[in-house]
Amino acid sequence: MKYDPNKRIKSILYRAKKKTKIKTVKSIAFKKIYLESQARRMRRKMTKPEQEFRTILEEEKIQYETQKIVGFYIFDFYIPSINLLCEVDGDYYHSHPDKYKAEELNEMQVRNKYRDQKKNIIAKGSGYNLERFWEDEILNTPEITTKRLRELIKK
């Protein structure tokens, strides 16, 4: 059996959280482990738009990775051949501008917009290109999504 150092760290983290009842993870090493576990969970439980986007990538025979960690953020898809991070944004949760006016946004939508701006900065600052795809576009007009991907790959 192969020794896994992360398993030991996870065990320590579990016991520490249980004893102190601390919900936030403060250490960078523990944050990394937490992000990796979140990414694994998100890979198993993709949303419908993410599943459709993955299908489009597979139909176009585009090599990709799911749930790419950059900094302390998880991005939905990564296409290594063109160094592109792809985010699949839900219309409600990320407040699609065609459907929701800025003055009508609730607290969660405002928080998500702010987090998306931070993710954009982290991606660009880390040397990645970033493209956002809306849920409505992926589910209702997949041909437009396919066309956008083809154009991005040709660049």
The predicted-structure confidence for 62-80, as pLDDT tens digits, reads as follows: 999 999 999 889 999 999 9
Q: What is the mean pLDDT of the chain?
A: 83
Please spell the DSSP secondary structure of 38-103, one letter per residue: HHHHHHHS--HHHHHHHHHHHHTT---EEEEEETTEEEEEEEGGGTEEEEEE-TTTTT-TTT--GG
Which sign does the torsion angle of CA 31, 37, 38, 43 carry? positive
Domains in the chain (CATH in brackets) are: 1-45 (no CATH), 46-154 (3.40.960.10)
DSSP-derived letter for residue 34 is H
Q: How far apart are CA 83 and CA 66, in angstroms?
A: 13
pLDDT tens-place string over residues 27-55: 777 788 888 888 899 889 999 999 999 99
pTM of the prediction?
0.76
The phi and psi torsions of 85 (rounded to 5 degrees) equal: -95, 135
Burial of 36 (0-12, 13-18, 19+ CB in 10 A): middle
pLDDT tens-place string over residues 89-148: 888 877 777 787 888 888 888 888 889 989 999 998 899 999 999 999 999 999 999 999
